[in-house]
Amino acid sequence: MHALFAFLKTSCGLIVNEDKLYLVNSRLQPITEKYQCKTIAELVMRLTTSRNEDLKRDIIEAMTTNETSFFRDVTPFDHFKNHVIEKLLDRRRTKRSIRILCAAASSGQEPYSLAMIMSENAGKLSGWRTDIIGVDIDTKILKRAEEGIYTSFEVQRGLPIQLLVKYFDKQTSQNWQVKPQIRSMVRFQKKNLLEPIRDLGQFDVIFCRNVLIYFDIPTKRVVLERLADQLAPDGFLFLGGAETVFDITTRFVAAPGFRGMYVPTQGGAKPGAGVA
């Protein structure tokens, strides 16, 4: 299994060890059957001896976590709605544009939650351009995010009933789809946070919540440095409640009074760089 653990860490930063064997077995069993392997050990052997990119992708997608919900944990979205939007309305009044990145967007609930908040503030943002990009390593989950179709159970998790009625169309007795006006505000793209993301451009807000908890310290540092490079000097970074930048990078500091929200240090200067 060590070869599998090394592959997951190198390819997507995921830290898995012997105490997670139950998780490995349950998630890789369907992949084992798909590739007609008798055991997971045989599957891992094939992984290490072949150059089958489909196999590599399937293993990564099976092992990465896609747990999410609308307005998950509530507080970051309240901070965004009540503080960040007002700040950006002032700071971006010349270019009248706001760009938001959702890292590890999974099945799309987070970026669509932000799109609904922006739509609720349409009066203030009249004439403004909003660009929300959701990225993830899992191609299958991104396809589902683009479709914007969710079960009744999924829309009941964190989504206020008034927003469900306003921004979703009922497809069947069990499925709801995000209305086109909200889907058009979000673009989805496959990205691995361990690889450069410069081509995405600069963002005013980055949500990277409940992602770093799966990485070791060096990998967390790499990801945070990459995000710092793409965040505007006066932008905002949101992390999960169990995540922090402390003792990992000096590129961010906590925003006082706003749990889970961080801002670039000294205008986003890299460690050791001078401050203008």
Q: Which two tokens stand for residue 53?
A: 């990119």
In a domain, 274, yes or no: no
In a domain, 275, yes or no: no
Alpha-carbon span 101 to 208, nearest angstrom: 8
Q: 23 near 32, Cβ under 8 Å? A: no
Q: Are residues 158 and 217 in the same domain?
A: yes
| Nearest alpha-carbon partner for 108 in 41, 154, 55, 174 | 154
Q: Are residues 53 and 81 in the same domain?
A: no
Q: Are residues 111 and 59 in the same domain?
A: no
In a domain, 70, yes or no: no
Q: Are residues 27 and 111 in the same domain?
A: no
In a domain, 276, yes or no: no
Q: Are residues 258 and 181 in the same domain?
A: yes
In a domain, 126, yes or no: yes
Q: Are residues 262 and 212 in the same domain?
A: yes
Q: Are residues 82 and 35 in the same domain?
A: no
Give me the pLDDT at residue 272, please.
39
- Residue linked to tokens 């997608």: 61
In this prediction the pTM is 0.84
In a domain, 107, yes or no: yes
Q: What is the pLDDT along the chain (276 residues), one digit of tens a residue?
A: 788 888 888 887 777 777 777 778 888 888 899 899 889 889 988 888 888 898 988 888 888 767 789 999 999 999 999 999 999 999 999 999 999 999 999 999 999 999 999 999 999 999 999 999 999 999 999 999 999 999 999 999 899 999 999 999 999 888 999 999 999 999 999 999 999 999 999 999 999 999 998 899 999 999 999 999 999 999 999 999 899 999 999 999 999 999 999 999 974 445 433 322
Q: Are residues 79 and 58 in the same domain?
A: no
Cβ-Cβ contacts under 8 Å for 162 (sequence gap 6 or more): none
Q: Are residues 87 and 165 in the same domain?
A: yes
Pairing relationship of beta strands 252-254 and 261-264 according to DSSP bridges: antiparallel
Domain of residue 233: give its range. 75-268
* CATH at residue 150: 3.40.50.150
In a domain, 249, yes or no: yes
In a domain, 68, yes or no: no
Could you give the 3-state DSSP secondary structure of residue 89?
Answer: helix
Domain count, the chain: 2
Q: Are residues 115 and 50 in the same domain?
A: no
- Specify the amino acid at residue 20: K
Alpha-carbon span 24 to 17, nearest angstrom: 9
Q: Are residues 102 and 206 in the same domain?
A: yes
